[in-house]
Amino acid sequence: MLGFLIRRIIQSIFVMLAVALIAFMMFRFMGDPVNSLVAENATVEERDAVRERLGLDQPLWVQYGRFVARAATGDFGLSWRNARPVSTLLAERFPATAELVLVAAGLSLLLGIPLGILTALRPHSFSTQTLQFFSLIGISLPTFVTGILLILVFSVWLGWLPSFGRGTVVDIGWWSTGFLTLSGLKALVLPSVMLCLFQLTLIMRLVRAEMMEVLRTDYIKFARARGLTNRSIHFRHALKNTLIPVITIFGLQLGGLIAFAIVTETVFQWPGMGALFIQAVSFGDVPVMAAYLVLVSLIFVVINTTVDLLYAVLDPRLRVDGARAAH
Amino acid sequence: MTILTVENLTVCFPGRRGTINAIEDVSLSVSAGEILGMVGESGAGKSMTGAAIIGLIEPPGRIAKGEIRLEGERIDNLRPEAMRRLRGRRIGAIFQDPLTSLNPVLTVGEQLIETIQTHLRLPRSQARERAIDWLRRVGIPAPEARIDTYPHQYSGGMRQRVVIALALCAEPQLVIADEPTTALDVSVQAQIIALLRKLARETGVAVILVTHDMGVIAETADRVAVMYAGRIVEIGEVADVLTAPKHPYTSGLMASIPRIGERPETLPQIEGAMPRPHARPEGCAFAPRCPHRMEICTRERPEPRGTLTRSVACHLTEEVPA
Ligand SMILES: Nc1ncnc2c1ncn2[C@@H]1O[C@H](COP(=O)(O)OP(=O)(O)OP(=O)(O)O)[C@@H](O)[C@H]1O
Ligand SMILES: [Mg+2]
């Protein structure tokens, strides 16, 4: 287990170095940064001075090394747009995205797993057919369309829920949370529904397919032949085997949620990292874009490693220690 | 003492091409401590007979006709919950593939203890002791330690021993073993069969042993039922049936005893193949392949003649066999 962990961490470091390289290259592709830092009529000497001060006269690999070293401490320099530290900007925006993704992920699991089980256990019932139909819609409608429909129905027509912003937030240290006020909670509903809809239907369909597969296996037939109760067969014998592959997909999807949050944040003017990223793109604010890229990749890597570890904990066949077949 | 009696059991499957009978008019009986062997080609209906007895016919299949009695009580018309309580407690089952019969994410002990506690009101500690005891009885070395390990940590033969322990741990009166050795190495097949025989003698459990291996029947079973195209064509004491088969199909089977581990899909010594359920001929289903076919055979289906313990369904057999 320890060896596995160490291997995964080393792998992750390489992945992050590669991502950092891409982020670093972005600065190059955006043209000479000195142009945007000096006055238009600056002399060559002035430009060289700036270049030297920023270390841009050094060989590329030295610059990359410095970039990585500073990124490792969370230092991505100043935003080109408003000259504030990028790390501060991201830290301000992080809680909004984190809370949105957390709620969406929670919703998709809490609804997706029970609905998947229900539709697997009653494959021919009317409710299953209905759910399958709506899940097909959920999986095929573009998310911004569902978002706009949600706003139309619940904000414009019914006026129940706000259509933009986070409502009132409460600061706990550097973290600003919307969980503690009614308006904050209300503001979370529509964006998290929009964000979770795709994952929810995906998880529901996945759980259903896996569960139906598991219910056909020999060990379930044998459990029935031993007279175990349906409850135990479904929720003890079948569910655990069903959830093992579901966890992997969910982990991968969690990363996807963060990525998709960009769209949701744009539709609902949600002040999160995704919205910050979109602004950065439109202003060509490379340090913010680079930092976002690195941060999101880091989250992906952490999630994937966690999923692999969880997988090993849940599936005894993957626990290598002591797994010796007796002959 | 007779444990199980099956009379004129017919299982049908309604389908697009009309209703087919997977098994027809199957009658048999098994007594305590007895091993009834069951042989026949693939698709003859051996597994279906077992599924009907244990009440696990897959829908849309259902029992169309006949009776199943366990110790005199009818069990073919029980409600699902009553049937569930009976499974494992009074009728056990052993399946073919030990590699897939055990739940990979639960320890052997968890699976045994749950089965025991489902049927017997025992506190967990006692159920655990009983589980360890059963592992010992089926020949698992160091059961106190092995009980907390997972199925993948056992070899195929050891897993089949665990499966046997699971089938017997609530002490059923009848166990249906459907090809319990087909998936195993030849070297462990004999051990598993010997274990089954030993447990049958010790516990008095009645065993229905489905197999393709006539050698196993000869060595293990007390009586044997030969199935063909959904029907039992001959049933009787092993010594009688094997040395003096009355049905031409049984004779053919005897002539084509396969080597151990071989699975005869068709029998080389008997020309042709067994008809599928929807294409069975009007008279005797074996008539098209029968070397002794008579005019009556294609017209009239021979009914089983004899008693529950020894009977033959063939026009050649005029008198009731002794
Ligand atoms: N779900 C089903 N629907 C329709 N027909 C079925 C179904 N299951 C089995 N049958 C039919 O029932 C008949 C008996 O099958 P069964 O599985 O009992 O054969 P078997 O003697 O156990 O064969 P094998 O040696 O291959 O295990 C076969 O003709 C098969 O086509
Ligand atoms: Mg079979």
Question: pLDDT (tens digit, 9 = 90+) per residue, A45-85?
Answer: 888 887 787 777 788 888 888 888 888 888 888 887 777 88
Task: Give the residue-averaged pLDDT of B153-167.
Answer: 93
Smallest CA separation from ligand 1 atom 18, residue: B45
Residue A175: name the closest of A276, A97, A238 by CA.
A97
Asked, for residue B10, whether it belongs to a domain, the answer is yes
Q: Note the pLDDT of residue A259.
A: 83
pLDDT at B309: 67
Q: Say if B317 falls within a structural domain.
A: no
Q: What is the mean pLDDT of residues B17-23?
A: 90
pLDDT value of position B56: 93
Where b means 16+ CB within 10 Å and e means fewer, A295-312 reads bbbbebbebbbebbeeeb
Q: Which domain holds residue B253?
A: 2-258+267-312
B57-102 pLDDT tens trace: 998 999 999 999 999 999 999 999 999 999 999 999 998 888 899 9
- Distance (Å) from CA B43 to ligand 1 centroid: 5
Question: Looking at residue B28, which CATH number applies to its domain?
Answer: 3.40.50.300
- In terms of pTM, does the model score above 0.80? yes
What gap in Å lies between CA B160 and CA A239, rounded to an integer? 24
What does the alpha-carbon distance between residue A166 and residue A185 come to, in Å, rounded to a whole number? 8
What percent of chain B has a predicted confidence (pLDDT) above 90? 63
Longest dimension (CA), chain B: 67
Q: Does B50 contact ligand 1 (Cβ within 6 A)?
A: no
- pLDDT digit string, tens, across residues A201-214: 889 999 999 999 99
Q: Among B47, B150, B171, which Cα is nearest to A324's?
A: B150
Instruction: Among A143-147, A320-324, B139-143, B276-280, name the one with the lowest average pLDDT.
Output: A320-324
> Which residues in chain A touch residue B93, judged by CB atoms under 8 angstroms apart?
222, 225-226
Q: At what angle do helices B186-203 and B156-168 cross, to 10 degrees?
A: 20
Distance of CA B159 to the CA centre of its chain: 19
Closest CA to B233 of B214, B208, B217, B252: B252
Using the predicted structure, report yes or no on whether residue A253 has a pLDDT greater than 90: no
Instruction: Over range B166-195, report the average pLDDT.
Output: 91
| Alpha carbon distance A173, A269 (integer Å) | 24
Comparing CB atoms, the residue among A222, A317, A326 nearest residue B95 is A222
Mean pLDDT value across residues A280-289: 85
Q: From CA B177, how far away is CA B91, in angstroms rounded? A: 11
List Cα–Cα distances, B156 to A287, B103, B144, B161, in angstroms: 59, 14, 20, 9
Cβ B141–A228 below 8 Å, yes or no? no
B322 lies in some domain: no
Tokens standing for residue B302: 């021979």
Does the beta carbon of B97 lie under 8 angstroms from any beta carbon of chain A? yes
Q: Is the pLDDT of residue A320 over 60?
A: no
Amino acid B191 reads Q
pLDDT in tens, A109-140: 999 999 999 999 988 888 888 888 888 887 78
Q: What is the 3-state secondary structure (H, E, C) of chain B?
A: CEEEEEEEEEEEECCCCCCEEEEEEEEEEEECCCEEEEECCCCCCHHHHHHHHHCCCCCCCEEEEEEEEECCEECCCCCHHHHHHHECCCEEEECCCHHHHCCCCCCHHHHHHHHHHHHCCCCHHHHHHHHHHHHHHCCCCCHHHHCCCCHHHECHHHHHHHHHHHHHCCCCCEEEEECCCCCCCHHHHHHHHHHHHHHHHHHCCEEEEECCCHHHHHHHCCEEEEEECCEEEEEEEHHHHHHCCCCHHHHHHHHCCCCCCCCCCCCCCCCCCCCCHHHCCCCCCCHHHCCCCCHHHHCCCCCCEECCCCEECCCCCCCCCC
The predicted model gives A178-193 an average pLDDT of 86
* pLDDT at residue A242, as a whole number: 92
State chain A's mean pLDDT as an integer. Answer: 85
Alpha helices in chain A (DSSP H): 2-29, 33-37, 44-53, 60-72, 86-121, 126-140, 143-150, 182-215, 218-225, 230-232, 239-267, 273-283, 286-314
Q: Whose CA is nearest to atom 30 of ligand 1?
A: B43
pLDDT value of position A247? 84
Residues in B touching A316 (Cβ below 8 Å): 104-105, 107, 150, 152
Contact A272, A91 (CB under 8 A): no
Q: Which ligand is nearest to the CA of B19?
A: 1
Mean pLDDT is lowest, of A104-113, A226-235, A307-316, A318-327, for A318-327
Q: What tens digit of pLDDT does each residue of A9-43 get?
A: 888 899 999 999 988 888 777 767 677 667 777 78
Identity of the residue numbered A5: L
Distance CA B41, CA B268 (A): 12
Check CB contact under 8 Å for B104 and A224. no
Task: Tell me if residue A85 falls in helix, strand or coil.
Answer: strand
B43 lines ligand 1 (CB under 6 A): yes
Helix axes B124-137, B156-168, angle to 10 degrees: 130
Q: Which one of A7-21, A168-182, A243-257 scores highest in mean pLDDT?
A: A7-21
State residue B268's pLDDT score.
54
Is position B216 within any domain? yes
The CA radius of gyration of chain B, in Å to the nearest whole number, is 20
B246 Cα: distance to centroid of ligand 1 (angstroms): 25
Percent of chain A with pLDDT over 90: 24
Which of these, A229, A224, A221, lies nearest to B118 by C-alpha position? A229
Q: What homologous superfamily is domain A88-326 in, according to CATH?
A: MetI-like (1.10.3720.10)
Q: Which chain B residues are Cβ-neighbours of A325 within 8 angstroms?
A: 152-155
pLDDT band at residue B109 under the 50/70/90 scheme: very high
Residue B145: the pLDDT is 93
- Inter-chain residue contact B100 with A226, CB threshold 8 Å: no
Comparing CB atoms, the residue among B89, B105, B170 nearest residue A240 is B105
* Residue whose CA is at the smallest distance from ligand 1 atom 29: B43
A 10 A CB-CB count for A286 gives 24
Does any CB of chain A come closer than 8 Å to the CB of residue B163?
Answer: yes
- Note the pLDDT of residue A313: 78
The pLDDT tens digits of the residues spanning B231-265 come to 999 999 999 898 888 899 998 888 766 555 555 55
Mean pLDDT of A223-245: 93
Contact indicator for B186, B174 with CB cutoff of 8 Å: no
* Ligand 1 pocket, mutate which of B47, B176, B276 (most atoms under 8 A from CB): B47
Q: Where are the domains of chain A?
A: 2-72, 88-326
Give residue A325's pLDDT.
Answer: 38
Domain count, chain B: 1
Residue B320 lies in a domain: no
pLDDT of residue A322: 41
Contact flag B153-A326 (C-beta cutoff 8 Å): yes
Residue B100 lies in a domain: yes
Residues B109-133 have a mean pLDDT of: 95
